[in-house]
A and B are shown apart, each in its own frame.
Chain A
C-alpha cells in the first residue's frame, strides 16, 4: 500500500463513526428536519397558490372568470331555491297566487360559509376576510349580511361583511339584460351583458316551470310547522336541486367554479297570508373557486321578507364609482355566457315570481 493510500485509510479509520449504528442525535435531527420540511412544503404550496392566483389575475380572461366566480358566489351558491316556492299539495296554488299578487319584495338575511379549514388560496384583495382566527375545531367561518331587492324591473343584491362593510353589490336590469357587479373592497367592477339565450331562458322561467322542475328533480317534503315571527309557519323542504339549477352549463367550468355537492332548501309559509316568511338554504361545496378550494358548507337564511315595498330601480343598474377598475369580459366567450347564466341561476328563483307577470303586463300594454 502506498503512502497516500495508507494516509487515506488512517483518516477514514480516525474520523468515520464506528459503523452506522443509530445515535441519539439521529432522532433529534430527523425530528427537527421533518417539522421544517412539513412547514416548507406547506409554505411552498401556499406560495404556489398565491402565484397561481396572481397569474390568474394577470390574465384578462381568467381574471374575469375568477373574479366573476367569486363575485357571483354570493349571488348563486348562497341562493338556493330561496323563495323557491316549494310545492305543497295543499297550499301551492294559494302560495303561487299570493306571490304573484305582489309587485316587489325586499329581503334581509345572513350568509354563512364554514370551511373545513382556513383557506389559504384567495385573491390578495380579499385577505382582510381571512385575518380572523379559525374556530376551535380548526374550521373557519365567514359570515355576511345580505339584502336582496326584486321587482319586475330587475334584481339587486348587496352583501356586507360582519363589520357592516359593503363587499359586493350586484344588479341585473331585466329590460336591458345588463348585469353589474361592484366589488368595493377591490375597487373593481364587472359589467356583463346577459346573452340573448340566457335572457330567453330567464324569460322562460315561470313559477309553474320552476315548480315543475322541483317536482321532476327534487324530493320535497313537508316540515314543521315551526314558530317563526309569531306565526306557525308551514315548511317545505326540497333537496337535490343543485344539479338542476346549473343544468345546461358546461360541467367542467361549473365544477371548477361551483362544485356543488348537495343542496337543501326550505321555505316557511305564513298560513294566514300564504306568503313566505322565511327561507333557508344549505349547500355543500367541494373544493372549487368559490369555496377557495376547500370543502365548505354554505348556509343562507332570509328571515325578513317585506312584500310590495318601494324599490329604487337604480339598484338594478348600480352607479359605478369613477375610481373603480373594470374587469373586462371577453365578449362572446363561454365564460361570459356561463357567468351570465350563473347570475341568472342565482336570480331565477326570485325572478320566477315576476317574469311571468312582467311579460303578462307587457302583453297587456302592447295589446292596450
Chain B
C-alpha cells in the first residue's frame, strides 16, 4: 500500500494524470464518507472533496509524502469540513433540510431509511471533536496514531474522543436501532 502510494506520488509529482486518477479513485470512497459524516450535506461533502483534491493537485511537483497518503487526504477533508462548518455560511435550516434529505434517501446507502436517519441524527449530536475522531477512524480507516500525528494531538486525546463519541452514539441509538 505504502509502496504503491509512494510510486503514485512520484508519478503525480511528474504531472501524470493517470496517477492522480488512481489516487482519487483509490481514496474517494473513504474521503467522501468522512466529509458526509462531518457535514451531513451531500453537495457540501462533494465540494469539500473537490477542494481537497484540487488543493492536493496544486502541490504537484513538490509534494512530499510523510506518513500515509490516505491519512493526509482524510485529515485535509476533516479540516476543510471543520472550516465549512465554522464559516456558518450555510443556514442551519438548509442544513437540517439537507440532513433530512440524506436521511430519507435510503437508496444512497446500504442502510434502510429509518435506521440511517437515526445514525445521521445521532452523529449530528456528537461534539465536533468526537465526530471527527469517529469519522476519521471508522469511515476514513485511519489509525489513532495517524490521526494524532496528522492533527498534532496526543494519541490519548484522540482515543478518548473516539471512546466518548462511540459511547454517546450508543446511548443515542439505543432503542432506535437494534444494537
Contacts and interface: CB of A to CB of B under 8 A. Distances in A.
Contacts of A25: 46, 49-50
A15 B56 CA distance: 23
A33 B56 contact: yes
A41 B60 CA distance: 6
Interface residues of B, number: 47
B170 A11 contact: no
Contact of A16 (B57, B61, B139, B179): B139
Nearest to A28: B50
Determine the interface band of chain A, counting residues with CB < 8 A from chain B. 20 to 34
Contact of B119 (A10, A30, A34, A43): A10
A11 B30 CA distance: 12
Contacts of B14: 41
Given A15-B37, A41-B61, A44-B60, A33 B139 contact: no
A20 B22 CA distance: 13
Interface string B98-123: 00000000011111000110011001
B29 A16 contact: yes
Q: Say whether chain A's binding surface is mostly helix, strand, loop, or mixed.
A: helix
Interface in A1-52: 3-4, 6-8, 10-18, 20, 25-26, 28-30, 32-34, 36-45
Contact of A33 (B36, B57, B111): B57
Given A11-B119, A11-B134, A44-B62, A6 B179 contact: yes
B24 A33 contact: yes
Contact of B170 (A3, A26, A29, A41): A3
A38 B53 CA distance: 14
Given A29-B53, A32-B54, A43-B61, A10 B37 contact: no
B169 interface: yes
Contacts of A34: 17, 20, 57
A37 B57 contact: yes
Interface string A173-211: 000000000000000000000000000000000000000
A8 B177 CA distance: 13
Contacts of A8: 138
Contacts of B110: 13, 16, 18
A17 B33 CA distance: 7
A45 B179 CA distance: 56
Interface in B18-56: 20-21, 24-25, 28-29, 32-33, 36-37, 46, 49-50, 53-54, 56
A283 to B, nearest CB: 32
B59 interface: yes
B15 interface: yes
B166 interface: yes
A32 B53 CA distance: 9
Nearest to B12: A37
B173 interface: yes
Given A15-B36, A34-B17, A4 B166 contact: yes
A123 to B, nearest CB: 22
A7 B33 contact: no
B94 interface: no
Contacts of A32: 50, 53-54, 57
A226 B123 CA distance: 88
Contact of B57 (A10, A15, A17, A36): A36
Contact of A36 (B32, B58, B179): B58
Contact of A14 (B50, B54, B119, B179): B119
Nearest to B177: A10
B162 to A, nearest CB: 10
A-B interface, 10 closest residue pairs, ranked by CB to CB distance from nearest: A44-B61, A41-B15, A33-B57, A37-B57, A36-B57, A14-B119, A37-B60, A40-B60, A13-B111, A13-B110
Given A18-B110, A25-B49, A37-B17, 19 more contacts: A3-B179, A6-B179, A10-B111, A11-B37, A11-B138, A14-B109, A15-B37, A16-B109, A17-B29, A17-B32, A25-B46, A29-B53, A32-B57, A33-B24, A34-B57, A37-B58, A40-B58, A41-B13, A45-B61
8 contacts: A7-B169, A10-B119, A10-B173, A11-B119, A12-B33, A14-B119, A15-B135, A32-B50
Interface of B: 12-15, 17, 20-21, 24-25, 28-29, 32-33, 36-37, 46, 49-50, 53-54, 56-62, 107-111, 115-116, 119-120, 123, 134-135, 138-139, 166, 169-170, 173, 177, 179
